[in-house]
Amino acid sequence: MTAPLSPTVKQTHSNRNLLIVVVAVFVLAVAAAGGYGLWYILIGPASPAAVSAEAPVIPVNASVPAPASFDGTWQVNTSFGSMSDFSASWAGYRVQEQLVGVGGHTAVGRTPKVSGSMTLTGSIIDNVQITADLTALASDDSNRDGQLRRQAIETDTYPTAMFKTIQPIDLGSLPADGKIVSVTATGALSLHGTIKTVQITLQAQRQGGIIAVAGSMPVIFADYGFKGPNSFSVVSVDDHGVMELHLLFTHA
């Protein structure tokens, strides 16, 4: 007949069993993270190309006759293009992050809810004002999008960003149809409740009555009073990023 185990031995066995369970759960979690990381690297969603690597995109099916006069007000048009290939009007961000079980990843979020206008007189562009609804920012991760509502740019508190030129842009001459030109726009960027004077490098081209503009500029988070978001799946986020935009204008 086997002698009953003493309370001390029973407690030792219980602690050992608990330790085994904890270790097993940890191993499974690491394996799952590793599996997710491998999936993300091999077949996970690729980050959209940076606008600086592409000319401004005029949607294939968008066709607007050239106006009798190019002078006057041009407004951001959101009825052309698609966000599936980013040929529509949008504004957004690009930030490098380190993810648990994945490693380096470029986070890209974009909002199609943009509005604004500019005036053209001869070859001079002036009175550019663009507003972006940051609450509509969408990336490849809904968790990241949710974090931005309460962290970093805090879209629940600061729902919009605005850029407004503070000096005219001289094109030199009105570009021919289909010709791509590069310019620098100097203006005031309002983000996270802070306004800074910035310069944005832009490329533009016209096709008929559509003017497509694409551009980007670096943004240091501390300049606007915030830092990158954090969560259980993020190891670290750079302290800077890139603001991007792609806009389609039509004559008002």
For residue 182, count other CB atoms closer than 10 A to its CB. Answer: 9
More reliable by pLDDT, 213 or 97: 213
Q: What are phi and psi of 70, to 5 degrees?
A: -80, -15
For residue 173, count other CB atoms closer than 10 A to its CB. Answer: 9
| pLDDT at residue 5, as a whole number | 53
Estimate to the nearest angstrom the gap between the alpha carbon of 136 and the chain centroid: 11
Q: Is the pLDDT at 97 greater than 70, yes or no? A: yes
Mean pLDDT value of segment 158-178: 95
Mean pLDDT value of segment 117-121: 98
Nearest partner of 177 among 201, 208, 204, 199, judged by Cα: 208
Q: CA-CA distances (angstroms) from residue 44 to 35, 39, 40, 51, 80?
A: 12, 6, 4, 21, 28
Q: Which helix (H) or strand (E) holds 60?
A: none
Q: Is the pLDDT at 53 greater than 60, yes or no? A: yes
Q: How far apart are CA 228 and CA 235, in angstroms?
A: 11
Considering the chain, what percentage of its residues have pLDDT values greater than 70?
77
**4 pLDDT tier (thresholds 50, 70, 90):** low
Estimate to the nearest angstrom the gap between the alpha carbon of 71 and the chain centroid: 32
Instruction: Report which DSSP code applies to 135.
Output: G
Please list, in sequence order, all residues whose beta carbon lies within 8 angstroms of the beta carbon of residue 64, skipping any fewer than 6 positions away: 208, 209, 210, 250
